[in-house]
């Protein structure tokens, strides 16, 4: 047992106290006067040995979150010159605009859960309810404290009980602590079937059209199995936000014939959308400025992708009607079976007087679930816990790149940047979510030689990690151009995905992944 010190306040008053916490679920409802919530925070004594590792879950799916040593610290965006931060909105991709980053060694923070690991022994601290606000964990190695805050400031409290904290603590093996947490959450994945297939993005990017997509579909016929996924990514739409029709110059027949062709080959048909944002050059942005989310009287820019992109106000009835029409068209009229929904953090960059940032995100995810019905959702760019049990599949890392770790100056930017190295790290260190929260999406792998700067060893590492820890395993190659050797490599990866057993990770000195395949012990070193 440990003694926790807590404090909570509204604009009209505050309360504080101490409480004993131990293993299992722990709840604290605080009596507070009516007013605007200011904070809810608690501090636990929490020592950490020199050899112990700490994992702090990042804000959203792209956020880099490796295991850290005791005296490591996270880097925010302060190192980016202010004019670049403002011009390209680098601080809008993660939590930088609302969370303070520690300035000293040994200071780190994370959302919804964290763990401390010594060998195979885990100490887990996690949230059981994010509706009142995200649970943010801060660790300070020098002070030997774990500070826990509720991201609730600015929400009106009517007076009476406020759910300051709903926490879960566990010690034991990896499976013991995570199984216990998800049992306490009552959370089960919507899908247990592993999904494999193709994505158009990482070879063609936005340079797709009817001819190129059908070429890749033709190649998939000779490589994939019945029930695999054929997914069209970004580039089919005229502009991001304009979803009701495909770009007529690229897809003069529309997208229904392509979905039908995929179905005729026995594949699921998937389509990429970013439903909660629109780019500045879109017709939506130009014709419906009142649909944009306003913060301090200005539309909220979410980042610099495309022509710059902005959040939609999900509470605007016109936005709701529009997205209802979009999903009805994509899923019912065009016949797609899966939607990859991207940049979902745009639903709730802020809370409001009625609900927290987390509650707004949860509401947005539940709405997407309603819009999609029984069709499959692949979530991306979304805060991690609000997608639990809602998305069928979900990204757990950043985009991979065509090289290992991008050019040197990109490494100076935010934690959500494109990086194959970082993507692999997140796949490994968020592996516990796969099969518990949803089917994890580690992004794509490559076997091709053209248009790819990864070494053969790096491609093999990426592909094997994806096969071992994924709920959805996609390639972005052109299968029609696979050599017999590449086809053998692909078959071997599917064999790993289907039959690998006893998968375990050793990460005390480098990363070594061990597994059993058809009775033989295998390992991969990173």
Residue 465's CATH number: 3.20.20.70
Show Cβ contacts of residue 261 under 8 Å, excluding neighbours closer than 6 positions.
214, 217
Predicted confidence at residue 2, as pLDDT, reads 87
b/e map 369-393, b = 16+ CB within 10 Å = bebbeebbbbbbbbbbbbbbbbbbb
Shared domain for 94 and 122, answered yes or no, is yes
Count CB atoms within 10 A of the CB of residue 360: 20
Predicted confidence at residue 220, as pLDDT, reads 95
24 is a domain residue: yes
456 is a domain residue: yes
> Last residue of a domain, which of 132, 162, 185?
185
16 is a domain residue: yes
| Contacts made by residues 508-511, CB under 8 angstroms, sequence distance 24+ | 508/51, 508/53, 508/119, 511/428
> What is the rounded distance in angstroms from the CA atom of residue 143 to the CA atom of residue 234?
47
DSSP, res 72: -
Count CB atoms within 10 A of the CB of residue 289: 11
Lookup: tokens for 86: 């403002």
309 is a domain residue: no
> Last residue of a domain, which of 185, 215, 238?
185
Shared domain for 132 and 234, answered yes or no, is no
302 is a domain residue: no
Shared domain for 226 and 137, answered yes or no, is no
Shared domain for 147 and 231, answered yes or no, is no
| Of residues 69, 43, 65, 45, the one with CA closest to residue 56 | 65
pLDDT digits (tens, 9 = 90+) for 482-519: 999 999 999 999 999 999 999 999 999 999 999 999 99
Predicted confidence at residue 412, as pLDDT, reads 85
Domain tally for the chain?
A: 2
What string of DSSP letters covers 439-471? Answer: EEE---B---STT----HHHHHHHHHHHHHH-S
Predicted confidence at residue 191, as pLDDT, reads 86
3 state SS for 74-130: CCCCCCCCHHHHHHHCHHHCCCCCCCCCCCCCCEEEEECEEEEEECCEEEEEEECCC
* Full domain range(s) for residue 163: 2-185
> Last residue of a domain, which of 123, 156, 185?
185
Is this prediction's pTM over 0.85?
yes
Shared domain for 20 and 116, answered yes or no, is yes
Shared domain for 238 and 359, answered yes or no, is yes
Shared domain for 334 and 431, answered yes or no, is yes
> What is the rounded distance in angstroms from the CA atom of residue 105 to the CA atom of residue 300?
33
| Of residues 133, 58, 126, the one with CA closest to residue 358 | 133
Residues 488/505, Cβ–Cβ less than 8 Å: no
Low-confidence ranges of the chain (pLDDT < 50): none
289 is a domain residue: no
Strand 145-151 and strand 35-45: the pairing is: antiparallel
pLDDT digits (tens, 9 = 90+) for 404-448: 999 888 888 899 999 999 999 999 999 999 999 999 999 999 999
Q: Is the Cα dihedral 197, 200, 201, 202 positive or negative?
A: positive
Backbone dihedral angles phi then psi of residue 320, each to the nearest 5 degrees: -60, -45
Shared domain for 365 and 464, answered yes or no, is yes
Shared domain for 233 and 151, answered yes or no, is no
- Matching residue, tokens 């013991």: 176
491 is a domain residue: yes
| Of residues 232, 194, 233, 187, the one with CA closest to residue 387 | 187
Residue 101 burial (10 A CB sphere; 0-12, 13-18, 19+): middle
Shared domain for 180 and 199, answered yes or no, is no
Shared domain for 396 and 443, answered yes or no, is yes
């Amino acid at each position: 047992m440990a003694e926790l010190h807590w404090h909570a306040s509204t604009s009209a008053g505050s309360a504080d106290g101490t409480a004993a916490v131990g293993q299992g679920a722990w709840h604290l409802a605080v009596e507070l006067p009516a007013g605007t919530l200011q904070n809810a925070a608690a501090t636990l004594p929490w020592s950490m040995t020199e050899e112990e590792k700490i994992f702090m879950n990042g804000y959203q799916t792209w956020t880099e979150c490796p295991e850290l040593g005791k005296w490591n610290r996270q880097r925010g965006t302060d190192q980016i010159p202010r004019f670049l931060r403002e011009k390209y909105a680098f601080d809008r991709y993660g939590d930088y605009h609302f969370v303070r980053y520690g300035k000293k060694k040994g200071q780190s923070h994370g959302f919804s859960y964290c763990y401390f690991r010594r060998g195979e022994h885990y100490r887990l601290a996690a949230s059981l309810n994010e509706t009142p606000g995200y649970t943010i964990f801060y660790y300070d190695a020098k002070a030997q404290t774990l500070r826990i805050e509720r991201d609730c400031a600015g929400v009106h409290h009517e007076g009476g009980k406020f759910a300051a904290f709903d926490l879960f603590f566990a010690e034991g093996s990896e499976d013991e602590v995570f199984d216990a947490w998800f049992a306490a959450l009552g959370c089960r994945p919507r899908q247990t079937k592993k999904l494999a297939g193709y994505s158009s993005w990482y070879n063609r990017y936005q340079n797709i059209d009817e001819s190129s997509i059908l070429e890749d579909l033709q190649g998939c016929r000779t490589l994939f199995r019945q029930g695999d996924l054929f997914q069209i990514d970004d580039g089919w739409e005229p502009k991001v936000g304009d979803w009701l029709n495909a770009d007529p110059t690229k897809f003069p027949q529309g997208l229904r014939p392509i979905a039908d062709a995929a179905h005729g080959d026995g594949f699921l048909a998937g389509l990429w959308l970013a439903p909660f944002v629109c780019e500045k050059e879109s017709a939506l942005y130009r014709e419906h400025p009142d649909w944009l989310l306003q913060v301090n009287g200005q539309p909220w820019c979410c980042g610099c992708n495309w022509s710059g992109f902005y959040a939609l106000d999900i509470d605007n009835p016109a936005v709701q009607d529009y997205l209802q029409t979009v999903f009805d068209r994509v899923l019912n009229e065009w016949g797609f079976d899966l939607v990859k929904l991207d940049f979902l953090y745009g639903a709730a960059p802020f809370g409001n007087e009625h609900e927290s940032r987390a509650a707004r995100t949860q509401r947005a995810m539940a709405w997407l679930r309603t819009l999609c019905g029984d069709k499959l959702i692949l979530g991306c760019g979304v805060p991690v816990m609000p997608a639990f049990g809602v998305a069928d599949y979900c990204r757990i890392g950043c985009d991979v790149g065509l090289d290992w770790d991008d050019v040197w100056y990109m490494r100076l930017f935010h934690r959500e940047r494109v990086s194959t190295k970082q993507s692999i790290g997140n796949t490994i260190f968020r592996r516990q979510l796969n099969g518990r929260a949803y089917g994890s999406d580690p992004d794509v792998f490559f076997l091709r030689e053209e248009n790819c700067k990864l070494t053969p060893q790096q491609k093999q590492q990426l592909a094997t990690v994806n096969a071992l820890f994924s709920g959805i395993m996609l390639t972005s190659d052109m299968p029609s151009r696979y050599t017999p050797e590449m086809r053998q490599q692909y078959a071997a990866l599917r064999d790993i995905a289907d039959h690998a057993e006893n998968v375990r990770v050793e990460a005390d000195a480098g990363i070594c992944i061990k597994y059993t395949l058809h009775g033989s012990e295998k390992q991969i070193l990173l």
